Amino acid sequence: MFPEKKTMLFFGPKRAPHVERYPGKTPLLLVLLLVASGLGAQDLSGNSGDTPSFGGPPPGDISSLDLPGRSGDVGVVDATDVSEETESPEGEAPDVSAAEAVLLEGAEAAETPSGSLEANTGILQPAAVVLDLVGAQRQALARNPSLAAGAERVEQARQFVSKARSMYFPQIDLNYRYTFTWLPSEYTEPINEYLDETDETLRTIRHELYAYYVTSSTLSLGDRRTIRQYLNDTEDVVDIARDFVESPQESSSVNLTAGWLLFDGFAREFTNAMAKHGYGEARAAYRDGQRILLDAIAQAYYGGQYAREQVMIAESAITFFTRLVKEAKARREIGRGPTSHVLNFETALYASKANLLRARREYELARIAMAVLLGYPEGYLPDTVQLAPLESETPETMMLPEKDAMLALAYAYRPDMEQRELGLKRAQANVRREYAKFTPQIALFGAAQTTNIDETGFSGDRMLSTVGINASMNLFSGGRRRAELREAKHARRESEWQVTETEQKIAAEVQKALLDLKIAQESLQLSRNAAECVRKNRDLVDKEYKAGKAMLVQLNQAQNDFVQAMGTLAQARVGLQRSWQVLHHATGISLGLLDGEHQELTEKMRQEAVPADAPVKENSNE
């Protein structure tokens, strides 16, 4: 068959090339060629004009099927391993001559051409980093930008709790004010004129007094001092008055106020409760975002594995048709096969290569989707990162969990259910807070203030202090408070309906996930059995075609059926893994599986699980 080469699509040990069974028989080969040249070409299929159409192979994996009795190469059958059904009857010579067998073996021993299977397996070469589902989900939780934005919203809600708690403490405010004031000229000019007249009058009085003192001695020295002091004081008053009307006026003031709310109808308590429930809602919404992200990562991950199995199926088809092309050309060279067979197999080979291109495109698109969810800034996974192989099913994965147990897990673990319940509690607290608006508010307050004009220093002599109790109550607001109360009640009823809706939604998702899981388990069993039958039939038809017992159209149909069956089997295997992930998403335990609760959750599911083919229990309530 093919020369000794190692690829991912070959299973079991390789047989030695058949040419080695005929050492030193080149002269015999030439004699047989001369004899065979007079026999003429023979159409082994009887239908050389039929060239089937090959569509794209369905996605799937044929690299790790572990089918019973499978050995050797995928799509490669030894011409000497002819089963009992294809053996020639006693007394009859086989249709394939010895010369044709030698030529076919020589063709199989030829080098694989460039661009065939060896050149098409670059996408599946060993990678430096193998990324499994758990690792991908952990990276997404740590690097996804949408999740980081959700964490910031949680922090906002937490700070709102601190803000609501501050209402229990006194509020102290300090205010300092420094100003310049320009007085209007209509106000200052009359005053300045009056003050100027006053100054002129004082000077006139002083001059007259000095003249009187010189001409008369009736006033004693003490009287003169008293008069002079009076005139000086009057001038000081005039100067002070001028300062008050100067522009700009410079002034400063300091106010210290303290207030403490003593009673507000328990509105603070309900506001604080609303803040706590809102914080719980934000955290639940964040965990629900994590749950949705984990499911998106899982679907993209299995989509990548799904596309990679398409690549492997296309490469397997290329290997199979490459061998058939070589064999058909060898038969044509000895005159035992028509050219139509060669063209048929070459057409199928080109179709398989086109399918390989489409499969590689789907694989690369899946890697791009994974990179976006994992938060890679370049939008593509590095070439050194490859997805882990598709997981094999285990006895646990073929067990179907109990419906009641899954519903109980969903109601306990689903973050969106917790979010709705906390939203209902927040709405109830909001109704009680609206009732508090109909009660009075009592607060204790105190204040200390001082004001300086044209001075920079502060003195306790000018400090004004105030302490008191303030009680207020709104008597009429035009129906605003009643409308706000009714609005809060309707919001509470909305939250109640949302809780009911979420319960129904969770139950429906769990029911659908269980149904899909059951169908996936049964489909996998059927697909595995069908794949084994199709594989045996393809191998048998291939051997019969080589022996001249089967037509070309039968071999084409057998290969098409084989590719389709392998794709269906791989699709069923991927579908089983996806169904389990959907069930984890529906029950909300996907976060618990990553947070270290894997053993506890797995034990619960195993205790409640039943085989997929077990009879379904009837509900006793029915």
Q: What is the largest CA-CA distance in the chain?
A: 180
Q: Which residues contact 312 (CB under 8 A, 6 or more apart)?
A: 8, 9, 61, 62, 63, 124
Q: Where are the beta strands (DSSP E) in 454-550?
A: 464-472
Say what the pLDDT of residue 495 is.
93
- Which range has the top average pLDDT, 6-10, 350-354, 608-612? 350-354
Does pLDDT of 508 surpass 60?
Answer: yes
- DSSP annotation of 548: T
Say what the pLDDT of residue 15 is.
36
pLDDT band at 406; cut points 50, 70, 90: very high
Span 397-414, average pLDDT = 90
Q: How far is it, in rounded angstroms, from Cα 421 to Cα 492?
A: 11
DSSP notation for 297-321: HHHHHHHHHHHHHHHHHHHHHHHHH
Say if CB 260 and CB 171 are below 8 A apart.
yes
Does pLDDT of 413 surpass 60?
Answer: yes
SS3 per-residue string spanning 229-293:
HHHHHHHHHHHHHHHHCCCCEEEEEEEEEEEEEEECCCHHHHHHHHHHHHHHHHHHHHHHHHHHH
pLDDT band at 259; cut points 50, 70, 90: very high
Q: Over the stretch 553-608, which tens digit does the pLDDT of each residue have? A: 888 888 888 888 888 888 888 899 999 999 999 998 888 777 655 445 555 555 55
Q: Which residues pair with 447 in a beta bridge?
A: 257, 466
Say what the pLDDT of residue 185 is.
77
- Which range has the top average pLDDT, 179-188, 230-239, 576-585? 576-585
**Residue 444, helix vs strand vs coil:** strand
Does pLDDT of 450 surpass 70?
Answer: yes
Instruction: List the one residue out of 125, 165, 127 whose CA is nearest residue 268.
Output: 165
Q: How far is CA 269 from the centre of its chain?
A: 37
Bridge pairing between strands 609-611 and 399-401:
antiparallel
**Residue 117, helix vs strand vs coil:** coil
Does pLDDT of 418 surpass 80?
Answer: yes
Say what the pLDDT of residue 84 is.
36
Q: Tell me the two tokens of residue 423.
A: 């939203």
Say what the pLDDT of residue 443 is.
92
Span 507-525, average pLDDT = 93
Neighbours of 71 (CB within 10 A): 8
Say if CB 57 and CB 317 are below 8 A apart.
yes
Give the whole-number percent of the chain exceeding pLDDT 90.
25
Does pLDDT of 279 surpass 90?
Answer: yes
Does pLDDT of 527 surpass 50?
Answer: yes
Say if CB 488 and CB 427 are below 8 A apart.
yes
CB-based burial, 20-34: b 16+ in 10 Å, e otherwise: eeeeeeeeeeeebee
Say if CB 461 and CB 441 are below 8 A apart.
no
Say if CB 381 and CB 371 are below 8 A apart.
yes
Does pLDDT of 360 surpass 70?
Answer: yes
Q: Which residues pair with 464 in a beta bridge?
A: 449
Q: Over the stretch 71-80, which tens digit does the pLDDT of each residue have? A: 333 333 333 3
pLDDT band at 37; cut points 50, 70, 90: very low
Give the whole-number percent of the chain exceeding pLDDT 70.
73
Span 431-437, average pLDDT = 92
Say what the pLDDT of residue 144 is.
85
**Residue 442, helix vs strand vs coil:** strand
Q: Which of 75-84, 365-374, 431-440 has the lowest mean pLDDT?
A: 75-84
Does pLDDT of 13 surpass 70?
Answer: no
Burial class (CB in 10 A: 0-12, 13-18, 19+), 291: buried
pLDDT band at 433; cut points 50, 70, 90: very high
**Stronger pLDDT, 436 or 595, i.e. the higher one:** 436
Which residue has tokens 């996930």? 513
Q: How does the average pLDDT of the chain come out, rounded?
A: 75
Say if CB 555 and CB 341 are below 8 A apart.
no
Question: 228-231, long-range: CB within 8 Å, 24+ apart, which pairs?
Answer: 231/202, 231/205, 231/206
DSSP notation for 61-106: --SS---TT--SBTT---TT---GGGSPPTT---SS-HHHHHHHHH
Span 312-328, average pLDDT = 88
pLDDT band at 114; cut points 50, 70, 90: very low
Which residue has tokens 């400063």? 252
Q: How far is it, in rounded angstroms, from Cα 506 to Cα 411?
A: 8
**Residue 334, helix vs strand vs coil:** coil
Q: How far is it, in rounded angstroms, from Cα 266 to Cα 437?
A: 9
